Amino acid sequence: MTTTSALDCQYRPRHHYTADRSWLNDPNGLVYANGTYHLFYQHNPSGTVWGNMSWGHATSADLLHWDEQPVAIACDEQEAIFSGSAVLDKTNTSGFGTPDNPPLVAIYTSAYTPASPLNGRQAQSLAYSTDNGATWTKYDGNPVLDRASADFRDPKVFWYDGSAGSYWVMVAVEAVDREVVLYKSADLKTWEYLSTFGPANATGGVWECPDLFELPVDGDAGNTKWVLVVNLSPGGIAGGSGGQYFLGSFDGVAFTSETTVTQGIQQDDSRMAEYGWLDWGRDYYAAVSFSNAPGGRRLMIGWMNNWQYGAVTPTSGWRSAMSLVREVRLASRDGAVALVQAAVDPYGSGGATTYSEAGTALAVGTRWLPAEASGDVLRIDADIVPGTAGEVGLLLRADGGERTVLAYDSGRGVLSLDRTASGNTAFHESFASVQRVAVPLEDGRLRLRVFLDRCSVEVFAQDGLATITDQIFPGESSTSLAVFAEGGGATLVSLDVVRTRSHA
């Protein structure tokens, strides 16, 4: 849920976080402490385009309702505050707090300006808070890790406890070299080089915003794999920004991938679909996970935009939103292990089903659903047997010729989201587009969960095996919903449309 603002407009989302005013991009410093989730993010406090990079800040008790806080770590004349992470230093290894009041420590990239003796460099720095994130102090020994590089950034830090020892691990990137570099530290202040991974798989743009974490396979704590996330821009599977992941092992020193398809800086575009992608849409970037999340959950959030057109999206007074928070797991599917995702559901406890049908035969053509199935903010759950239909799906946010088309091609086994007629697409030449992902049927069925918000569509297919996230900018009257089948009949096993209760 976003903040309330006098700058509200038809596109201000209801269930996705936006800054009250101005620009935001990459999520940073995601951490849970003392009953509060902290979402920091790249923020320009002074305008609706990228610049004056500082850490914005929002807090939540439930990952759904966010309260915007004052800017946490501000840029100054010597440095911009680029992406990074935050940890709860539980045993006060840094010495910034006390055993009774352990500090929150932010590890961020200092992008040094011409006013700094380190002009042109990117290096890693610290800030700390002893009042649960309300105020932050920059460490007077910054930077703590400097490779004399212009593109060394985006540190993700976590506590490692394994056969190699117990220490902090930093996962960062040499962005232009498409390399992930790993370091270790006992106190967050002094860092020792461990290893380098890459380049591998998608290398069509710079590598940014890495993450590394361990997950059980099928919930089995005795069978785990490590997940290395690397975002890149451009070079994403749908064009522009995107996020990829590798599965493998981490021994406390080096990450070893089991899912590398291609190696080297030269990208093989013909094999792009073989890589592990976090999302197959245009608008899910810089996704990273929360540190210290309760219950051992791995919770991720991404910037719901794309660097190709992010600076010109047609919103007023604010620009860019975050995705819904997603819990990610590893699951065995068809003899392989894959990342599956489920959104933290804003309708889970506060939703009302306003339309439902089941066991309906879909004849060839389009069937418009009644008014109680319409809206600009909805969750749609559909279970479909394509049958003899060549194509079957949903028309979303429709009015006249304006619609966003979610379609399943039965012959090719491909799910697509077509936003070429979704509303305002003319603000950038690359916005009108169709996103596609291969989605095998399971027991002859296609299961879809779709979250519609005022300027976005997030699709989770086959219980989160594949996701597509896209922005859309439809007219205010484009709220109708339809089902369709082409080339043959299909069966709508079930369809449920859910609104938040205040909309019901």
Question: pLDDT, tens digit, for every residue of 410-433?
Answer: 999 999 999 999 999 999 999 999
Tokens of 78: 């010597």
pLDDT band at 278 (very low <50, low <70, confident <90, very high): very high
Contact 267, 203 (CB under 8 A): yes
Arithmetic mean of pLDDT over the chain: 96
Q: For residue 351, what pLDDT is reported?
A: 86
pLDDT at residue 273 tops 80: yes
Q: For residue 502, what pLDDT is reported?
A: 58
- Which of 42, 293, 50, 41 lies closest to 158 in space, CA to CA? 293
Answer whether the bond into residue 102 is a cis peptide, omega within 30°.
no
Q: For residue 9, what pLDDT is reported?
A: 79
Amino acid at 456: S
- Averaged pLDDT for residues 301-318: 97
Q: For residue 8, what pLDDT is reported?
A: 63
Tokens of 248: 């493998």
Rounded CA-CA distance 74/77 in Å is 10
Q: For residue 5, what pLDDT is reported?
A: 55
pLDDT at residue 3 tops 70: no
- Averaged pLDDT for residues 85-112: 98
Beta-carbon contacts of residue 426 (< 8 Å; ≥ 6 apart): none
Look at residue 372 and give its three-state secondary structure: helix
- Averaged pLDDT for residues 9-28: 95
- Averaged pLDDT for residues 232-243: 97
Look at residue 360 and give its three-state secondary structure: strand
- Averaged pLDDT for residues 260-281: 95
114 vs 349, higher pLDDT? 114
pLDDT at residue 2 tops 90: no
Question: pLDDT, tens digit, for every residue of 214-227?
Answer: 999 999 999 999 99
Q: For residue 313, what pLDDT is reported?
A: 97
Q: For residue 216, what pLDDT is reported?
A: 98
The rounded percent of the chain whose pLDDT value lies above 70 is: 98
Residue 253: CB atoms within 10 A of its CB come to 13
pLDDT band at 7 (very low <50, low <70, confident <90, very high): low
Start-to-end CA distance of the chain, whole Å, equals 17
Give the burial class of 26: count Cβ atoms within 10 A of its Cβ; 0-12 exposed, 13-18 middle, 19 or more buried: buried
Question: pLDDT, tens digit, for every residue of 31-86?
Answer: 999 999 999 999 999 999 999 999 999 999 999 999 999 999 999 999 999 999 99
Q: Which segments of 206-257 does DSSP mark as H helices, in order?
A: none
Question: pLDDT, tens digit, for every residue of 126-162?
Answer: 999 999 999 999 999 999 999 999 999 999 999 999 9
Rounded CA-CA distance 98/90 in Å is 9
Global confidence as pTM = 0.96
Contact 118, 112 (CB under 8 A): yes
pLDDT at residue 435 tops 60: yes
pLDDT at residue 334 tops 90: no
Q: Which residues are catalytically annotated?
A: 26
pLDDT at residue 503 tops 50: no
Question: pLDDT, tens digit, for every residue of 382-405?
Answer: 999 999 999 999 999 999 999 999
Residue 106 CA to chain centroid, in angstroms? 20
Rounded CA-CA distance 451/347 in Å is 10
- What DSSP character marks residue 347? T
